[in-house]
Amino acid sequence: MGHGLSIQCCQQVQLKRCDGELRTSSPHFQVCDVDKEECLQERVYVASWTESSSHSAQLVVDEGLCEVEPLHMQTLSYSPVKYEECDTIDTARSQDRYSNALVHTARMNTRRQLLDRQAWLSSAVQGRYAMLLLSSEAHGSPLWRVPTKYYLDHNHSSLSFFPGGADGRHLDIMMDAIQGICSLTDSMMLIAQWESLLTDMEKSCAVLLKYRVDDTKALNCEVCFLEESEAAKDMFIHTLTVLWLEKPQPHSAWF
């Protein structure tokens, strides 16, 4: 018997349908169940041919390779069968955890700003201290600091500055004559002129007002003064801007 063996299966049609495979070196073939349309993948045999002294072929079947490994399936999506309701707030520790937390709402911020403006208006009517900045070479310095006190009238229609006290000369600025309200750092010309004469703290507390002297004359003037702190400066600009916008303004303004 030669080495090229051929095997003729009685169920050749089923073997072809089941994709039976035949190899000459180490034949592998699948045994199919003729009663079923699909092959039994578990019944896989490895056959090897040996020749004895009587030249008779023997078929040795190795069933040790017939172990089937379990299939593991992994999915990335998961949908629970049911949902259980539970509390998401730890009531035992929530008071300690959130007692000092700051909670901001639009209503609270608006009410707080309103109270702050009312407190500032009340203090401005009674008088607030400030420091006027005057540019004068007559006093031997390009920048002259003058202690002053400004007042807002009860109708919130004018702002008056009294340098050196209420008995001296004063400056009255009508609310509808104001042209601009801003920080000194927003004025490029003045900050460039006084930058070397002011400290960083004074720069952050300086306020600049632009106003008209007379309606018939197109003459604009400026007054600059120092508030007691940067927060006081911001409150002055914010509150006075609100008052200025409430007045009818036929002209434009800048901030």
| Helix spans in the chain (H) | 12-17, 94-98, 106-126, 188-194, 200-205, 230-246
Please determine, for residue 83, whether its predicted confidence score (pLDDT) is greater than 50: yes
Residue 21, both tokens: 């495979």
Please determine, for residue 1, whether its predicted confidence score (pLDDT) is greater than 50: no
> Does residue 172 sit in helix, strand or coil?
strand
Q: Stretch 43-54: mean pLDDT, rounded?
A: 45
Task: Specify the higher pLDDT residue, 51 or 81.
Answer: 81
Q: Residue 120: what pLDDT?
A: 92
Please determine, for residue 64, whether its predicted confidence score (pLDDT) is greater than 60: no
Task: Specify the higher pLDDT residue, 153 or 187.
Answer: 153
11 by Cβ neighbours in 10 Å (0-12 / 13-18 / 19+) ranks as middle
Tell me the whole-structure pTM to 2 decimals.
0.52
> Is the Cβ–Cβ distance between 236 and 120 less than 8 Å?
yes
Task: Specify the higher pLDDT residue, 183 or 94.
Answer: 183
Residue 235, both tokens: 């409150």
35 by Cβ neighbours in 10 Å (0-12 / 13-18 / 19+) ranks as exposed
Q: Residue 194: what pLDDT?
A: 83
Give the type of residue at 144. W
Beta strand residue intervals within the chain, DSSP E? 28-30, 44-51, 57-62, 128-136, 141-152, 158-163, 171-174, 178-183, 206-212, 220-226
Report the share of the chain in percent with pLDDT over 90.
23
Please determine, for residue 31, whether its predicted confidence score (pLDDT) is greater than 50: no
What is the band of 149 on the pLDDT scale with cuts at 50, 70, 90? very high
What is the band of 100 on the pLDDT scale with cuts at 50, 70, 90? low
Residue whose pair of structure tokens reads 């079947």 in the numeric block: 61
Q: Residue 125: what pLDDT?
A: 94
Architecture of the domain made up of 125-246: Roll (2.30)
What is the band of 75 on the pLDDT scale with cuts at 50, 70, 90? low
Contacts of 206 (CB under 8 A, 6+ apart): 133, 183, 184, 185, 198, 224, 225, 226, 227, 233
Mean pLDDT of the chain: 70
Q: Stretch 51-65: mean pLDDT, rounded?
A: 47
Please determine, for residue 226, whether its predicted confidence score (pLDDT) is greater than 60: yes
The domain limits of the chain are 12-62, 125-246
Task: Specify the higher pLDDT residue, 87 or 206.
Answer: 206
